[in-house]
Amino acid sequence: MNSTIGPEEGEMQFKRYAIYYTAPQGALADFGASWLGWDLVTGREVPHQTLPDLSQTEIAKITQTPRKYGFHGTIKPPFRLAEGCDAEGLLQAFQRAAGQVAPVTLDGLKLAQIGRFLALVIDGDQAPLAALAGHMVAKLDPFRAPAIDAELARRRAAGLTPAQDEMLVKWGYPYVFDEFKFHLTLSGKLDPNRAAQVRDVLAPLVAPILPRPFVVGDLTLVGEDAEGRFHEISRIALGASATA
């Protein structure tokens, strides 16, 4: 089901929706947009930065897979709207759910190599953020259409644990609640040695801009356009009605 959100989006049609953490305006957000080559806030391509040890062509290859998603940390993974649900109802439910939980303060972010991927991950205890993500997943799940067989098969091909498979069946995604691992993806799959090389190039670049503490004070509803690229729909501050 394709749906639209509001006149400010120019009646753009979206195939899927998701809840993201997106960095507020500043150095980290600017880095993420230029590194990936896509700014989901403005909905525009961004020229890759020029680095001494990585050409723009190399960066484009490294970031090809995560580019369309924009610089983000997933809170509720992309989903199609369930029958009988519409985008405006989803937006209102998102606003209510975000208002019910307080902002989260964590120790910080760090650059990490996760197997064949590079990402920014939580430095320290991520339990408060996992609880926040679980709240959003559960509150908005009535708007999610059930995963189709092809989606289930694709996820299971990665080799899921029994717990992850249970999450997949119930919530449409295997890495939620106890399986949640927050990360802001910086690359597609790389040869492990190449990943280490790129990590070494990025480390001094991101070190001065990694937040410490890392505060998650708002969340963003995003939509996937016909070409598979994600756009900001609405950024909502957390905790507006946390005591309600």
Q: 136: number of CA atoms within 13 Å, CB side?
A: 32
Amino acid identity, position 48: H
pLDDT of amino acid 49:
85
Rounded CA-CA distance 12/226 in Å is 9
pLDDT of amino acid 8:
47
Domains of the chain: 3-237 (3.90.1140.10)
pLDDT of amino acid 241:
60
pLDDT of amino acid 31:
97
What is the distance, to the nearest Å, from the Cα of residue 33 to the centroid of all Cα atoms in its chain?
13
| Tokens found for residue 48 | 């890759």
CB atoms within 10 A of CB 42: 11
| Tokens found for residue 8 | 């400010």
Backbone angles phi, psi at 50, to 5 degrees: -100, 125
DSSP per position, the chain: --EE-TGGGTT-EESEEEEEE-PPTTHHHHHHHHHHTEETTTTEE-PPPPBTTB-HHHHHHHTHHHHTT-S-EEEEEEEPBPTT--HHHHHHHHHHHHHTS--EEES-EEEEEETTEEEEEESS--HHHHHHHHHHHHHHGGGBPPPPHHHHHHHHTT---HHHHHHHHHHS-SSSGGG---EEE--S---HHHHHHHHHHHHHHHGGGS-SSEEE-EEEEEEE-TTS-EEEEEEEETTTTTT-
Rounded CA-CA distance 167/173 in Å is 6
State the pTM of this model.
0.91
Rounded CA-CA distance 50/34 in Å is 10
Consecutive sets of 10 residues in the chain, 244 residues long: mean pLDDT of each? 43 90 97 97 93 92 97 96 96 97 97 94 96 96 91 86 90 89 96 94 96 97 97 94 50
pLDDT of amino acid 221:
98
What is the distance, to the nearest Å, from the Cα of residue 177 to the centroid of all Cα atoms in its chain?
15
pLDDT of amino acid 1:
37
